[in-house]
Chains A and B, each alone.
Chain A
Amino acid sequence: MSVLPYLVAGWICVIGLYGIVTSRDLIHLALCLTVTQSSTYVLLLAVGYVQGGGPPIFKGVELGTTAVDPVVQSLTLTDIVVSVTVLALILALALDVHSEIETMDPDRIVELQG
């Protein structure tokens, strides 16, 4: 198994974090969070990939057929569901910010500090 998908996962995670750190817009920030999250998909699928493996559907297939790992796929699905909830919540909060102060800049919402 090649090391490339792991490098890709690491790269996606880091650029997502870079985007969050430097973001000037809450929608952009939420999307960067999603970018970081997609690194977990790549990683999970890479972990479960089997060279030459088919889809993990075993109806009408001979015993012992090589298939990719179905567990990581269900983990990925769970991850998607959980993260969509978070994303929806952050976007809703961002909309509320916009209706309060007509901007999405995370630096402008700072009321509490120190």
Chain B
Amino acid sequence: MSWMLPLPVVLPLLAAAVNAALDHVTPRWAHDSVTVAGLASSFVFSILIMVDSMSGEPLHWFSGWTPRGGVAIGIGFAVDPLGAGMAVLASGLALAAVLYSLTYIETESRNYDILIGAFGGAMCGFALTGDLFNMFVWFELMGVAAYALAGFKVSELGNLQGGINMAVTNTVGAYFILIGVALLYARTGALNLAQIGRTLAGQHAGGVEIVALTLILVGFLVKAAIVPFHFWLADAHAVAPAPVCLLFSGVMVELGLFGAARVYWTIFDAPFGAHQIAIRNVLIVFGLVTAFVGAVMAFLQSHLKRLLAYSTISHAGMMLAGVGLLDSKSLGGVATLVLSHGLLKGGLFLACGVLLAQFKQIDELRLFGKGRALPVLGVLFGLGAVGLIGLPYVGSYVGHAGIDEGATLAHLTWVSPLLMLAAGISSAAILRAGARVFLGWGPSHDWLLSQQPPEDPPERDARVPLMVAITGVVIVLGLVVSIVPGLSQRAEYGAERFRDRAGYAERVLHGKPMKTKVLPYAIQPTTGESVVYGIGAGLVTLLFAAFGLWRNRLSDAWRTSAGRVAGPPLAVLKEVHSGVIGDYVMWITLGTALLGGVWALTLR
């Protein structure tokens, strides 16, 4: 059913174009319905494509330019289960965002709808395409829509800062990708992923490939908010409207990782397959550093959306570590982690939107105890935070379990406890904030937390019940990811397919059918270690959340010595997140030099 493949991309883009063309003509309900229809049909077609991709690799060559004699001539979509899954997540979350925005966004709602349509369509295109330059184009389109959405309320300086920082850093990343694409094209004369991989497989890898690998990966890791490329994310999330944060954290960041994983396994696995260990170690170290920087920074925030943003950085690091293990178990784990994290974190952002609409505040300390008026939202917020910990069979558990298994297989057993600690700290930050806001626990002042300027609330009384309902649906879906029968087996199968470079090339270039597998519908059995790590993460969460709330009950001697040890590094960490765009680009440049330098020494 190859005719379906472009539809998840075309329909939302068409909705955006119709809305743009009928500017000043149609009333609000009309452009809202067009957008909802576009994204809903995109969602449905993405699901159909995902089902289809389980038993084959659907291909669509635009204008019928099929490969001749095993050489790709045209541009094609080539869909595997993980790519289709990302399209489902992207279009589904975009649909949730638009429904939530029906009452949340008032001014400029038409432009908002147009941008969300373009954003959703571009994300699906990025997930489905099988062509490197085509990936770049979708990447840029989703980037431009995202920058405009981040700086959507241009009346505030903070929004302009967030929008500009995001636009400049991500654009630099995109140019890095383009330079890498040009180098690969110079080397192979091809732009199709399978074709580039096949051509490079027969050549000796040299400096050009290392530079291309570094630049393309850095470009995608800027989007994926990996330290030291992550700075834009917290600024952009702090100012973007809550439903836009749902899309940023829930799927856009993960698409950055998806892009990195896609180019690694279709292209660079060929020339560097013999040096897997060098690539694996670097990716795991970057992932773990990101997981901890994000978790600690999240713990130091009182602005709720900024707190959640840093926790997203932390999770992006965990996902990168999982991808970096370069194994089907861990990659399948990452896939389910992306799904559960996207839903749970997205739901938490939507809950923040409700708080902002109801109380005109988004700061944990200013909201102190006010959330008692919204008990349902409080329960949802708590469930969202608990789901992110990775407790056995709750929320993100199967994702963490898959990564743990991958780490054991790779004999890197020290990775799992570190990930457990990072997950615990970042969930503790969310739980602490929730306890302050919804229960009024702990003191209402905390000098440890960074203060940010307040955010303008939505203009009119948004319909809180509708928004809470959507938040609830998203969070509950995220919580049950670990107990959906058959899901993790399918994710692992998808990961195997995703990593099968030769099979992918055969399918894309020669149309050979894939070997399919019959998969059971069962809940993934688990190992004792994963249960221990899940419970351990829960204990870490409780410990740190209690520390955040009731630190002042500790004895003075304890607190001064703790402050003396942890104070200076934390101050430096805060100082580094300066909010100045020049600093951010300098960090990107240094990070690129570091990555490229390490690989120049080790990939030989």
Interface, chain A (partner B; CB < 8 A): 9, 13, 17, 20-23, 26, 29, 33, 36-37, 39-40, 43-44, 47, 71-72, 75, 78-79, 82-83, 85-86, 89-90, 93-94, 96-97, 100-101, 106-107, 109-114
Contact = CB atoms under 8 A, between A and B. Distances in A.
B185 A47 contact: yes
A33 B181 CA distance: 19
Nearest to B184: A47
A105 to B, nearest CB: 10
Given A26-B164, A39-B179, A82-B137, A114 B300 contact: yes
Contact of A86 (B144, B162, B182): B144
Interface stretch (B170-178, B320-328, B431-439): B170-178
A33 B582 CA distance: 12
B374 to A, nearest CB: 26
Given A17-B589, A47-B182, A112-B453, A22 B164 contact: no
B604 interface: no
Nearest to B592: A17
Given A111-B161, A112-B306, 16 more contacts: A17-B585, A17-B589, A22-B582, A40-B179, A75-B182, A78-B133, A82-B141, A86-B143, A86-B144, A93-B160, A93-B163, A94-B164, A100-B160, A110-B578, A112-B239, A113-B579
Interface residues of B, number: 52
A112 B158 contact: yes
A112 B178 contact: no
Given A26-B164, A112-B235, A114-B577, A20 B151 contact: no
Contact of B178 (A23, A79, A97): A79
Contacts of A33: 168, 171-172
Contacts of A9: 179
Given A93-B154, A114-B300, A43 B179 contact: yes
B147 A111 contact: no
Interface in B520-564: none
B178 A40 contact: yes
B148 interface: yes
A106 B163 contact: no
Interface centre among B179, B234, B575, B585 (most CB of A within 10 A): B585
A-B interface, 8 closest residue pairs, ranked by CB to CB distance from nearest: A114-B450, A113-B579, A111-B158, A110-B579, A47-B186, A114-B574, A82-B140, A96-B154
A2 to B, nearest CB: 14
B167 interface: yes
B577 A90 contact: no
A13 B579 CA distance: 23
B453 to A, nearest CB: 5
Contact of A107 (B147, B160, B175, B580): B580
Contact of B164 (A36, A44, A109): A109
A109 B589 CA distance: 22
A79 B167 CA distance: 16
A40 B164 contact: no
B157 interface: yes
Nearest to A79: B178
Contacts of B575: 114
A22 B306 CA distance: 27
22 contacts: A13-B175, A17-B172, A17-B585, A26-B164, A29-B168, A37-B171, A39-B179, A40-B179, A40-B182, A43-B182, A78-B133, A89-B144, A97-B164, A110-B161, A111-B156, A111-B158, A112-B162, A112-B235, A112-B239, A112-B306, A113-B450, A113-B574
Contacts of A96: 151, 154, 160
B186 A111 contact: no
B316 interface: no
B144 to A, nearest CB: 5
A112 B452 contact: yes
B338 interface: no
Contacts of A23: 581-582
Contacts of B179: 9, 13, 39-40, 43
B579 A86 contact: no
Contacts of A71: 185, 191
A93 B144 contact: no
